[in-house]
């Protein structure tokens, strides 16, 4: 059906209908705009939710429980899901709403042009009708000029009929046909945008499905037994339960055996008389043993901070801090690379606005810069701790070197316990140095025994001895394995970090927990230097 033949007399109604069609198109465009704003707000709220529950910890503090890891996987998937909602909003904004707004403006201009043409045609027809009417009036007024008026009337009538036929058979049909084509194109465009409206979301459905599958997989990855095993591995002390207390027969006194200065079960009073301070507590006394072991199974002292690895021996602490600094530097480099990439993309957007909005990248750039500052702060903090550790180790080396320079003793001056004589004349003037005879279990240390370990440096002087109250497995690097009641030489006192450097009678050196040993310092030892 053609509007030109069927609706030739419905100009005003067609005017209203075409206006309604354009209004309806703009109403649909407004609907799409509100829908994409909902998608944008939804994506923004999802990202804020993910950010709210994301952990803000360093890499070493991340939990190892599968329940936590799965929850963080769900957060990652939800963040990707939010990104897809943003894709939907962007598709609707560019391919539906923007297209409709441009098309609506074109329709308005085209409709205005067609209606102006129709009004011009109508005005021209009215003008012809007035001319015919005037001619007819003249026909009646001028009867005496009947022939002339009749001829003029006939001519005008013929001209009007021709123009009227042209109006209703050519001009109006063409105008209405153009309006029909315009309205049909509007209908087709609506159909296309209806499809684009659905396609914008249908294209991301597979990705959304994968996000949901990832969430389900993360949920299935929760392993309660593995988490329980991690708890056991994280908190087990490795200590054996305390054994039965032995029967102590106090009716018999233990006699002194061996030479003076030898390590034996010397009564406390005898050792005090010889000028060597007695032990701080009797490890054999049941109450003393209970007091020393109580913290292992009862109220434990305040645990050292795990963040700076101060609970580890110095060498292992240094390696762990260096490892963490390397990891933080790698993360910082990644953030810097990401910042550079975002800045390059922003430059591209600024030069080519049709590719994207450069302002949309600013939040991510700011977040990356914030992460870089946090990483630099962490690196500085760990480097401070590392400098502290390296400073302590350097001071140890300086003190040992100082001890070698100022308290060097010729071979043979060291007793089995590591004490030195005060006879300087013997040290400087006696060609053959007197040596104390070795005793069982206390070999005379060989001055060249530790050359390989200290790169041809002399070993640290012995400043005392200690007796192990408990066994220690020495699993950490730089520590020393010891058995209960084993006797060790002290070569460096506890500097406040809970570790004492000791040497076995076999020559092996390392750190042992200060609380695990009973220490006796030698008053007359030249190497007995107190470090603060």
Domain with 383 in it: 314-390
Last residue within a domain, chosen from 138, 170, 202? 170
The 3-state DSSP class for residue 17 equals helix
Structure tokens at 465: 């001895």
Which residues have C-beta within 8 Å of that of residue 58, sequence separation ≥ 6?
307, 328, 378
Task: Specify whether 496 is located in the same domain as 385.
Answer: no
Task: Specify whether 374 is located in the same domain as 514.
Answer: no
Answer whether residue 27 is part of any domain.
yes
- Residue 234 C-beta-side C-alpha neighbours within 13 Å: 11
Helix (H) or strand (E) holding 345: helix 314-351
Answer whether residue 350 is part of any domain.
yes
| Alpha-carbon distances, residue 113 vs 125, 175, 220 (angstroms) | 19, 10, 65
Residue 121 near residue 171, CB atoms below 8 Å: yes
Answer whether residue 89 is part of any domain.
yes
Answer whether residue 513 is part of any domain.
yes
Residue 458 near residue 491, CB atoms below 8 Å: no
Dmax over Cα atoms in the chain, in whole Å? 174
432-464: string of b/e by CB count within 10 Å (b at 16+)? eeeebeebeebeebeeeebeeeeeeebbbbbbb
Dist CA 525 CA 514 (whole Å): 20
Task: Specify whether 34 is located in the same domain as 137.
Answer: yes
The CATH number for 104's domain is: 1.20.1270.60
Residues in a beta bridge with 439: 442
Answer whether residue 68 is part of any domain.
yes
Last residue within a domain, chosen from 327, 359, 390? 390
Dist CA 287 CA 467 (whole Å): 18
Answer whether residue 476 is part of any domain.
yes
Dist CA 518 CA 521 (whole Å): 10
Please state the pTM of the whole predicted model.
Answer: 0.41
Closest CA to 404 of 350, 459, 367: 459
Dist CA 407 CA 150 (whole Å): 150
Task: Specify whether 160 is located in the same domain as 13.
Answer: yes
**Local structure of residue 169 (DSSP, 8 states):** I
Dist CA 51 CA 370 (whole Å): 14
CA dihedral 332, 334, 337, 342 (to 10 degrees): -100
Token look-up 């390989």 returns 452
Answer whether residue 30 is part of any domain.
yes
Task: Specify whether 474 is located in the same domain as 383.
Answer: no
Task: Specify whether 37 is located in the same domain as 124.
Answer: yes
Task: Specify whether 156 is located in the same domain as 29.
Answer: yes
Token look-up 């030109």 returns 4
Last residue within a domain, chosen from 119, 146, 170? 170
Answer whether residue 492 is part of any domain.
yes
Task: Specify whether 166 is located in the same domain as 79.
Answer: yes
Residue 33 near residue 105, CB atoms below 8 Å: no
What backbone torsions phi and psi does residue 21 show, to the nearest 5 degrees?
-60, -40
The CATH number for 469's domain is: 2.30.30.40
Dist CA 146 CA 270 (whole Å): 167
Task: Specify whether 24 is located in the same domain as 151.
Answer: yes
Task: Specify whether 17 is located in the same domain as 152.
Answer: yes
Structure tokens at 511: 């750190």
Dist CA 155 CA 33 (whole Å): 60
pLDDT values of the chain reduced to their tens digit, one per residue, 532 residues? 788 777 777 888 888 999 999 999 999 999 999 999 999 999 999 999 999 998 776 666 666 788 888 998 999 999 999 999 999 999 999 999 999 999 999 999 999 999 999 889 889 989 999 999 888 888 777 777 677 777 888 888 999 999 999 998 998 899 989 999 999 999 999 999 999 999 888 888 888 888 998 989 888 888 888 888 888 877 766 666 777 777 766 655 444 443 344 333 443 444 344 443 444 444 444 334 433 433 333 333 444 446 777 777 777 778 888 989 999 999 999 999 999 999 988 888 888 888 788 888 889 999 999 999 999 999 998 999 888 877 766 655 554 444 444 444 333 333 333 333 344 343 333 333 333 333 333 334 444 443 444 444 567 888 999 999 999 988 787 889 999 999 999 998 888 788 899 999 888 999 999 999 999 887 765 444 443 3
**Local structure of residue 353 (DSSP, 8 states):** G
Task: Specify whether 368 is located in the same domain as 508.
Answer: no
| Total structural domains within the chain | 3
Structure tokens at 38: 């909902």
Task: Specify whether 162 is located in the same domain as 28.
Answer: yes
Dist CA 413 CA 416 (whole Å): 10
């Amino acid at each position: 059906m053609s509007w030109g033949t069927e609706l030739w007399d419905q100009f005003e109604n067609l005017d209203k209908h075409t206006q309604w069609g354009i209004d309806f198109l703009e109403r649909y465009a407004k609907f799409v705009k509100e829908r994409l704003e909902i998608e944008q707000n939804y994506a923004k709220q999802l990202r804020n939710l993910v950010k709210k529950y994301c952990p803000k910890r360093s890499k070493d503090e991340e939990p190892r429980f599968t329940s936590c890891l799965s929850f963080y996987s769900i957060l990652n998937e939800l963040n990707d899901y939010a990104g897809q909602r943003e894709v939907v909003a962007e598709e609707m904004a560019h391919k539906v709403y923007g297209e409709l707004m441009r098309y609506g403006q074109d329709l308005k201009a085209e409709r205005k042009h067609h209606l102006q043409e129709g009004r011009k045609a109508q005005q021209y027809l009215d003008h012809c009708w007035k001319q015919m009417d005037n001619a007819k009036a003249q026909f009646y007024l001028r009867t005496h000029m009947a022939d002339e008026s009749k001829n003029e009337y006939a001519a005008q009538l013929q001209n009007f009929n021709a123009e009227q036929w042209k109006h209703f058979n050519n001009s109006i049909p063409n105008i209405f046909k153009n309006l029909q084509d315009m309205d049909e194109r509007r209908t087709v465009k609506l159909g296309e945008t209806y499809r684009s409206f659905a396609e914008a979301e249908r294209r991301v459905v597979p990705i959304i499905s994968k996000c949901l599958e990832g969430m389900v997989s993360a949920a299935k990855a929760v392993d309660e037994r593995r988490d329980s095993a991690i708890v056991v591995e994280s908190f087990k002390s490795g200590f054996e339960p305390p054994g039965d207390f032995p029967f102590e027969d106090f009716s018999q006194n233990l006699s002194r055996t061996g030479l003076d200065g030898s390590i034996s079960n010397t009564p406390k009073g005898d050792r005090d008389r010889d000028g060597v301070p007695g032990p701080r507590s009797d490890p054999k006394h049941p109450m003393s043993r209970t007091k020393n072991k109580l913290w292992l199974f009862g109220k434990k002292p305040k645990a050292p901070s795990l963040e700076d690895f101060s609970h580890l021996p110095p060498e292992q602490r240094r390696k762990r801090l260096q490892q963490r600094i390397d990891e933080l530097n790698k993360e910082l480099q990644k953030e810097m690379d990401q910042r550079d990439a975002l800045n390059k993309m922003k430059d591209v957007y600024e030069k080519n606005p049709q590719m994207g909005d450069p302002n949309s990248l600013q939040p991510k750039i700011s977040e990356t810069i914030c992460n870089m500052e946090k990483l630099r702060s962490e690196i500085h903090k760990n480097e401070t701790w590392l400098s502290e550790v390296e400073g302590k180790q350097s001071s140890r080396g300086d003190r040992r070197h100082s001890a070698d320079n100022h308290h060097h003793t010729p071979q043979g001056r060291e007793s089995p316990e590591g004490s030195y004589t005060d006879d300087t004349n013997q040290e400087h003037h006696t060609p053959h140095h007197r040596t104390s005879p070795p005793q069982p279990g206390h070999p005379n240390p060989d001055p060249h025994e530790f050359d390989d370990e200290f790169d041809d440096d002399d070993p640290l002087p012995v400043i005392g001895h200690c007796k192990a109250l408990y066994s220690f497995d020495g699993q950490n690097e730089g520590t020393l394995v010891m058995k209960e009641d084993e006797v060790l030489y002290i070569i460096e006192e506890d500097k406040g970090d809970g570790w004492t450097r000791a040497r076995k009678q076999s020559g092996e050196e390392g750190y042992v927990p200060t609380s695990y040993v009973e220490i006796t310092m030698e008053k007359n030892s030249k190497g007995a230097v107190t470090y603060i």
